[in-house]
Every structure is written in C-alpha cells, then in structure tokens.
Amino acid sequence: MAEETPWQQALRYANRANPYPFYEELRKTPVAPQPDGNYVVSTYQEVVQLLHDTRVTSDGRKRGVPFSNPFEGTVITTDPPEHDVDRRRMMRHFGPPECPHMIAGFEPEIRRIFGELLDNLTGKTRIDLVDEFAFPGPVTVICKVLGVPLEAIPSFHGWIETALDGLDFGPEANDPEQQRRAAAVPDAVTALRQYLGDLIGQYRKQPGPGMLSGMANDDGPEGPLSQESLVNNAMLMLFAGHETTVNLIAHSVMSLLRHPDQLEKLRRRPELIVPGIEEFLRFESSVQLWPTRSALEDVEIAGTTIPKGAPIFLCYGSANRDSERFENPDKLDLERPDNQHVGYSQGIHYCFGAPLARLEVQIAVGEFVRRVENPRLVEDPPPYRRNQIFRGPRHVWVDIDGIRE
C-alpha cells in the first residue's frame, strides 16, 4: 500500500484533535498534488494569492470532476456576476448600507441568551461546554436572525449532523461505515431544504420576523432572489451561521484553559477579548479547509501547475499556522500584532456573517471567563466530531467551582 501523504494523514479521524504536525509537513510543498487529483494549498501566501485569482472558480458546475455539494446554488458556490447580485440581495437584510444597525441591535438579545445559559449552570460542578453553552447560544441567535422557529432546532440539528458526518475527503471515505454515513446525506439535505422551503412559503403568505421573511417579500433594486436561490442560501446561512460559531466558542475556551497565562491576562484585561477572538480563530480555525474551488485554466503557482479543471482545496487551518507569516504560530498570543488570518477567508467570498460571529463570540467567551469559577478541562483532548471542514469537539467536559453573578 502506498504511503499516505501528509494531507491524507491530516484528514484521518484519529488526527482530528491535532492535525497541525501533518500541516507542518504539508507546507513543505505549498501546492501539493494528491493521488485523487486534488491540489492542496497549505501556505498563507499561496492561499491568499488564489483567493484573489480570477482564474479560480468557486462554481462546481465549471470544474472537471463532478462534486456533489450541499451548498450548490448559493453565494458560496457561484462566481460574479451571479454571486455579487445575490450577495447584495442578501446583505440588504443583514448589514450596511440598508441595515446598518441590524447586528448591533441584536447585542442585548445575545447577552441575554448567553447570560441565561450561564445562569442555568449554577449549582453544577461538571458541565459539557458544547451541549450546555457553545451550541445552544449560536443556534438560538441564528434562528432569531433568520426567523426560524426555535422548536425546529432538534430536527434541523439532526439533519445537519447527518450531512456533516457523511462528508469525508480523506482515506477513510471508502470504509463501509463511512459509506453508510454518506448514504444518509441526500435525505437529510432534502429534509432541510423541504423544511426551509415550506417556512419561506408561509412567510410569503404571512410576513413575519427575521431575514427570511424580509428576503421572501423584498423586491429591491435588483429584484428578488428566486425561490430556489432563497432556499439554498437560507440553508447555507442556517448551517454556516451556527456550526462555525459553536466550534469557535468551544475552541476559544479550550485554548484558554490550555494556556492559563493567557486566561489570566484576559481576566485582568477583559478588553483583550476583541483582538483575542481573532487569535482564537487563527489558532483553531472553525473552517479548516474549503473544498469548492477549481482552476478555470492552468494556474502556475509556487513551482506547481494546477491543471485546468482540477479541484483546489484551500487549507485555512494550515495557512493560519504558517511560520512564514506568523511568528511562533503554535503559540496563543491574545496580543499578536498584525493578525491578518484567513479564518474568514478573503476576497469576494469573505464571510458574510463575520460581524455577527465576532459579536457572539466576544460576548460568549468574555462572559464565560468573567463568570465561571476555576474552570478545568476534564479530558484533553476531548472527543472530536468527524467532519474535516467544520472541525470541532463533540463534547468538552469542564469541572467548575461555581457561577458568579
């Protein structure tokens, strides 16, 4: 059997908790062709270069190798001009210039949601950081932002878990167990699409709160989003809008508990949470890799030619640990200068929800540090979820002495 490449090793489930030594090996070949025909880009400079290269598409319909992607037909998998028009149609309901106060207006609600979650931990000595804090906060926030009823959380959470568990780009993709997980994905995606399609249909008849109703009933300067595009992008926002944030909150707290000097510094200087969350995202990127890009023509980069049609994997998690760009990249430093990480990507697909995610994580982690007394990790590393893109722990048990007011 051929020896596995560093990339294949990084993708193995056993290495989910710590893929970084494999990334370090991978970066010795900044653009690394893989046995399956994919080109993996792992160094900061090359990732940034390709993010701004118009010879690189995000549109799966234009790539040589077929790729079934639950995000098909959304802004994340289209190129200009289609991408830009739809992104503007969505942004009208989310941020400046049309809705400059939308995110800031959610701050009191976000504080209340995370505050209540911490209140509920009163009297406990052991908590699950994921199930009791990092998950329920962002999922509630994104439901409120979009106008998805909270009662739907258990159903859509199940569908999203199934879809995430079924996607595998590594050497275990062909294992019978993984094939079974993959077979369950289409039904889960169909159920989610059906649910959101029905909800949007109801909002067309009877407008209600949130972005989905706003978008369904809007006829802005560029016309409305088509029903299909609206449903696809609603799926993307519901999904991207909490999975990433859940993992960032869990990893931020874990990183602090693993670096007591930084935790102490943050306790003394709570304002460091603002640069701090950029460092948490650089250190443990919620989107480790992004698999949808491909070359529209031969692209020569770092001594390698990516042939026309070849799939390109951008490894943000590795670029953010590149020692050519970040001094002491494996050190957590809340005061790191010039921290231009690629945790939210760059260029035209730069994360749409970054301002909301920043606000949520600042409040969640800031309040956790302020209110939770003497938190200690019980199991390190904790068990991880299977998915390689949205990398995060499944549970994080933390012992605590109490909850302050």
Residue ranges that bind ligand HEM, judged by CB under 6 A: 58, 75-76, 87, 236-237, 240-241, 244-245, 248, 281, 286-287, 290, 343-345, 349, 351-353, 356-357
C-alpha 191/C-alpha 194 separation (Å) is: 5
C-alpha 101/C-alpha 153 separation (Å) is: 26
CB 186 within 8 A of CB 143: no
| Smaller CB separation from ligand HEM, 262 or 286 | 286
Closest distance of CB 125 from ligand HEM, Å = 29
Q: What is the DSSP track for 213-278?
A: HHHHT---TT-PPPHHHHHHHHHHHHHHHHHHHHHHHHHHHHHHHH-HHHHHHHHH-GGGHHHHHH
Q: Of all residues in this chain, which one has the CB nearest to ligand HEM in the complex?
A: 353
| Smaller CB separation from ligand HEM, 188 or 238 | 238
Pairing state between β 311-314 and 39-41 = parallel
Closest distance of CB 360 from ligand HEM, Å = 7
Closest distance of CB 99 from ligand HEM, Å = 12
* Element holding 293 (H helix, E strand): strand 290-295
C-alpha 209/C-alpha 229 separation (Å) is: 20
| Smaller CB separation from ligand HEM, 236 or 332 | 236
| Smaller CB separation from ligand HEM, 32 or 75 | 75
Closest distance of CB 357 from ligand HEM, Å = 3
CB 321 within 8 A of CB 341: no
| Smaller CB separation from ligand HEM, 181 or 358 | 358
Closest distance of CB 75 from ligand HEM, Å = 4
Q: Which of 191, 194, 195 is nearest to 159 (CA)?
A: 191
| Smaller CB separation from ligand HEM, 10 or 110 | 110
Closest distance of CB 213 from ligand HEM, Å = 16
